[in-house]
């Protein structure tokens, strides 16, 4: 589309049709409201555009990690409920109330601090109670003494300045199919139900009840309660190597260009540290992507740990990945020249977010979240550009 001018260097293509497909599949599976998790800039995909699309598609709410992320959504027209899953400074009580943002309440100490700040500001702050059933990060420790936790939670309802409108927990190993992991997940769910059921039996309004993360909602849709929270599956990636949902469509494809092609003679080396030296004549292409763009330096190798697609064929990485550039072996790929488009990773490419994660001993979450903000996000609908977001050109 001529209205969209993309300076081709290194860019991430975001397929909004794939995003819609994934969201529709999730909604059909759980048959209930879905909260879209758009923290960490929508896992690197661009929070504003993703949230706007999902708001149109019928998301029930959005979840973020901090107040700044929530405020960013509000500034750009997101009107649905927003839940902060982590810590919010109690001194921000007035901001939470003014912008109608919900925050997690995970301890009595925190609840009292938030209550005092809300009273001082003359506001009421919406909170969702966070119960720790075995994740072990933040939350009321139900695994230690769930009955004591129920009493602790019930006492919070009397605190002024707080409006308790939800309760939730998070699964630790719902993405594992190992028998002990499944037993642990079952026990977490049973414990959460005990706490919620007792609160409700004692006459306390628990508001929106939610417990299922990406893996749990697809494996156990009956656990949906009032809402589920969809994170990595929205972006078409599996929650773990143990759990595969082939119907999901990866949303992100990272691309760059060939900037230079040269002949390498035997005995000549490339890149920092001279970790690769040619043993025979070969053709080498320089491409404009590096670890500052989010392409892991661990994909360096004497030859071939990382693979990129050049003219439809896989080209192995040569030597060390640099900050802004990487070298590829294109000896067996005819006609490679400056300006050729390279697929760094993506659906159907030589490498995907999953294969890169395995090669670098991490998870696909980190790969997509790690794509730098200097990399423009190019949004596609029906294969055509509908929007370009470039952080370096924003005011």
pTM of the model: 0.95
CA distance 342 to 73: 33
Active site residues: 39, 272
pLDDT given for residue 1 in this prediction: 35
Pinpoint the residues of the chain covered by CATH 2.40.37.10. 252-393
CATH architecture of 61-226: Alpha-Beta Barrel (3.20)
Predicted confidence at residue 304, as pLDDT, reads 65
Residues whose CB is less than 8 angstroms from the CB of residue 382 and which lie 6 or more positions away in sequence, other chains included: 17
What integer pLDDT is reported at residue 6 of this predicted model? 85
Task: Report the C-alpha gap between 364 and 223 in whole angstroms.
Answer: 25
Number of neighbours of residue 341 by Cβ within 10 angstroms: 12
Average pLDDT for runs of 10 along the chain of length 395:
74 98 98 98 98 98 98 98 98 98 98 98 98 97 97 98 98 97 98 98 98 97 97 97 96 98 96 95 98 97 85 96 97 97 96 96 97 97 95 76
The CATH number given to 252-393 is: 2.40.37.10
CB 57 within 8 A of CB 23: yes
Residues of each domain in the chain carrying CATH 3.20.20.10:
61-226
Task: Note the pLDDT of residue 395.
Answer: 54
Place of tokens 């879905």: 34
Instruction: Provide DSSP, 152-216.
Output: HHHHHTT-TTEEEEEEE---SSTT--SHHHHHHHHHHHHHHHHHHHHHHHTT----EEE---HHH
Give the pLDDT score at 392: 84
Q: How far is CA 324 from CA 139, 291, 311, 360, 384, in A?
A: 41, 7, 21, 19, 27
């Amino acid at each position: 589309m001529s209205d969209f001018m993309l300076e081709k260097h290194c860019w991430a293509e975001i397929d909004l049709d794939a995003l819609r497909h994934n969201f529709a599949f999730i909604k059909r599976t759980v048959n209930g409201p879905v909260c879209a998790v758009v923290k960490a800039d929508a896992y690197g995909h661009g929070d504003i555009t993703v949230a706007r699309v999902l708001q149109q598609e019928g998301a029930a709410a959005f979840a973020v990690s901090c107040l700044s992320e929530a405020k960013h959504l509000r500034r750009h027209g997101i009107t649905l409920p927003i839940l902060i899953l982590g810590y919010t400074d109690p001194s921000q009580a007035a901001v939470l109330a003014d912008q109608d943002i919900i925050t997690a309440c995970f301890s009595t100490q925190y609840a009292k601090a938030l209550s005092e700040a809300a009273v001082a500001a003359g506001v009421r702050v919406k909170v969702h109670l966070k119960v720790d059933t075995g994740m072990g990060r933040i939350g009321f420790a139900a695994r230690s003494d769930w009955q004591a936790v129920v009493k602790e939670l019930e006492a919070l309802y009397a605190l002024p300045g707080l409006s308790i409108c939800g309760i939730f927990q998070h699964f630790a190993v719902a993405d594992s199919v190992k028998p002990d992991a499944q037993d642990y997940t079952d026990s977490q769910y049973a414990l959460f139900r005990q706490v919620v059921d007792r609160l409700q039996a004692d006459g306390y309004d628990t508001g929106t009840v939610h417990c299922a993360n990406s893996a749990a909602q697809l494996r156990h849709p009956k656990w949906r309660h009032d809402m589920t929270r969809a994170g990595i599956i929205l972006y078409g990636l599996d929650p773990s190597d143990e759990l595969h949902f082939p119907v999901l469509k990866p949303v992100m494809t990272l691309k760059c260009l060939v900037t230079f092609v040269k002949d390498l003679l035997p005995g000549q080396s490339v890149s920092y540290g001279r970790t690769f030296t040619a043993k025979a004549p070969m053709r080498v292409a320089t491409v404009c992507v590096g670890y500052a763009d989010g392409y892991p330096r661990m994909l360096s190798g004497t030859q071939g740990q990382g693979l990129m697609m050049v003219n439809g064929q896989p080209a192995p990485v040569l030597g060390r990945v640099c900050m802004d550039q990487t070298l590829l072996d294109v000896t067996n790929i005819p006609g490679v020249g400056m300006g050729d488009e390279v697929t760094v990773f993506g659906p159907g490419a030589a490498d995907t977010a999953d294969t890169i994660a395995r090669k670098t001993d991490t998870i696909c979450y980190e790969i997509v979240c790690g794509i730098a903000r200097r990399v423009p996000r190019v949004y596609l609908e029906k294969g055509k550009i509908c929007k370009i977001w470039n952080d370096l050109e924003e005011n």
